[in-house]
Amino acid sequence: MIETVAKKKGVPEAEELPAKIVLVILILVIVIGVFSIALTLTSPHFKQPEPQFISGGEVSIQLIPPPSTEQQETES
Amino acid sequence: MKAPSDGLLLVLFLVALGVTVTSTLVTLHNGGYLGGNFLTGAAVTTAGGEANLTVNAVTSITNQNFTINFGSGYVNASCNFCSMDSNKTFINYFGNGSNTSSLEDGRTCCVSFTEVSSGFLLENTGNTNLSVGYRCTGNCTHSLYIGGNLAPSMGGLEIKVTSNFARRQYGETGGTDSAESCLGGGTLYGPQNTNGWNITNTSANGGALNGAGLGDGVYVVLGSVGHWLCGNSSVYPLAADNSRDAAVIDINVTIPVDALGTGVRTSFNITFNATSSA
């Protein structure tokens, strides 16, 4: 009914955006969005905190053969 | 080329909408805006204005002692074992069954070894809370380090952690602690509902505690597998306050009389790790 009236009154129809252009725009939006998410997720804020390592140091010992029984008796 | 159908365009539009909304949410979450604080830093009065100062979080832990050297020696033939500790203690296990503990003077079973009075002194020298763990490399087991036959109840080569408020080892950059460190883990520290310094012997994070040390610690058998000493990968109880930011790691070694005196120096290395949320 509205369409009929519009046609009768000579109202020009709105031009439709070509479907191919819409398709390209949508694909671009998707690609940019995915790129944005990937960029955000790989930012340092999302990474697990990395530990800092420091050297505590070395624990050492040297076990030497005990002196012979004769030596021990002499020493004592 | 045939024009895409309305159905395909609708699907793509919905996908694009979904990606955009997801991207926005991820970004807002990343920026910490989803807690309702969109306007942090905004002036709350028109009279004085507001000065903003950013203090960067610094994760830093230091060790003030890099060597524990028990020196060179042997076990007295009248003893079954001799035990030495980096906290200056010697234990004599005599062949007649009596066991005595002493400081440097009066030790009998550990002959000519060096008295060690300092463990590894760890201190949080940054400005943010930390969790602390350790790893061991080298001869980290008793059989590799010393060898010989131990009594069934002996650990042989052991490690313990003690808050420096209890241990009182000199050398902290911020002055010796006046309060227990590594508190506040509480129910957050794994499922054990414990706080204070711990060595989780069964697993690196959580799990049942097997001979864990708490506070003025209990010795736990050293192994090549690292353990947490304070907190874990997501809980950071070691405060940066100078009054409660340090602990000492001590080592105890027991030498059986039948351990082979090779004359070769043997060692292992301890590496500590500190983690913060910063």
Please, where are the H alpha helices in B54-209?
142-145, 164-167
Select the residue of A40, A52, A58 nearest B267 (Cβ to Cβ).
A58
Chain B positions in Cβ-Cβ contact with residue A27 (cut-off 8 Å): 12
Paired tokens of B137: 């490399």
| Contact of A61 with B145, CB cutoff 8 Å | yes
Q: Which residue of B has its CA nearest to A40?
A: B27
Write out pLDDT tens, residues B223-244.
787 778 888 777 788 889 999 8
Q: How far is B8 from chain A (nearest CA, A)?
A: 9
Complex confidence, ipTM:
0.73
Residue B37: C-alpha distances to residues B30, B54, B87 (Å)? 13, 17, 51
Residue of B5, B8, B9, B26 to mutate, interface with A, max A Cβ within 10 Å:
B26
Q: Is A22 on the interface with B (CB under 8 A)?
A: yes
Write out pLDDT tens, residues B126-161.
889 988 888 899 999 999 999 999 998 888 999 888
Q: Is the pLDDT of residue B42 over 50?
A: no
Beta bridge partners of B93: B81, B99
Q: Is B275 on the interface with A (CB under 8 A)?
A: yes
Band the pLDDT of A36: cuts 50, 70, 90: confident
Q: What is the pLDDT of residue B141?
A: 92
| Contact of B199 with B160, CB cutoff 8 Å | yes
Tell me what the pLDDT averaged over chain B comes to.
Answer: 79
| Contact of B84 with B90, CB cutoff 8 Å | yes
Q: Is B173 on the interface with A (CB under 8 A)?
A: no
